[in-house]
Amino acid sequence: MMLQLFSLYMTYTGLSSFALAMDKHHVQAFGERVGPGRTRWLRLSGSILLLMALGLWVWSLDVAMGLVSWLLWVLPIMGLIVAAGLAFVPRFTATVACRRP
């Protein structure tokens, strides 16, 4: 249960890193455009976080159930939370994902 919650959180941080790597969302959250170096760093850390989240989820369930449930439910639900968060409380969304300007 704890592992799965942790994996959910990492999916959230990974997806919000990807979102923040885009100019529009970076402006929403921090009021400034994202530089090329920061984009690269956000994308890299985002991919690592997503891979770790997937790995943890698959490990805590089993391979078939884990892969399917992560792709079909964890990813979209967390993605919708990130999208809604960036729209209504952008700074807070970034803070929860441990991202500072």
Binding residues vs another protein (CB under 8 A)? 15, 18-19, 22, 24-25, 65, 69, 71-77, 79-80, 82-84, 86-88
What is the smallest separation between the CB atom of 101 and another protein, expressed in angstroms?
18
Q: What is the longest distance spanned by two Cα atoms in the chain?
A: 42
Nearer to another protein, 22 or 52 (CB): 22
User: SS3 sequence, 61-100?
Assistant: CCHHHHHHHHHHHHHHHHHHHHHHHHHHCHHHHHHHCCCC
Query: Helix 36-60 crosses helix 2-20 at what angle (to 10 degrees)?
Result: 160
Q: CB of residue 88 vs another protein: minimum separation in angstroms? A: 7
Closest contact distance (angstroms) between CB of 100 and another protein is 19
Instruction: Compare residues 10 and 66 and give the one whose CB is closer to another protein.
Output: 66
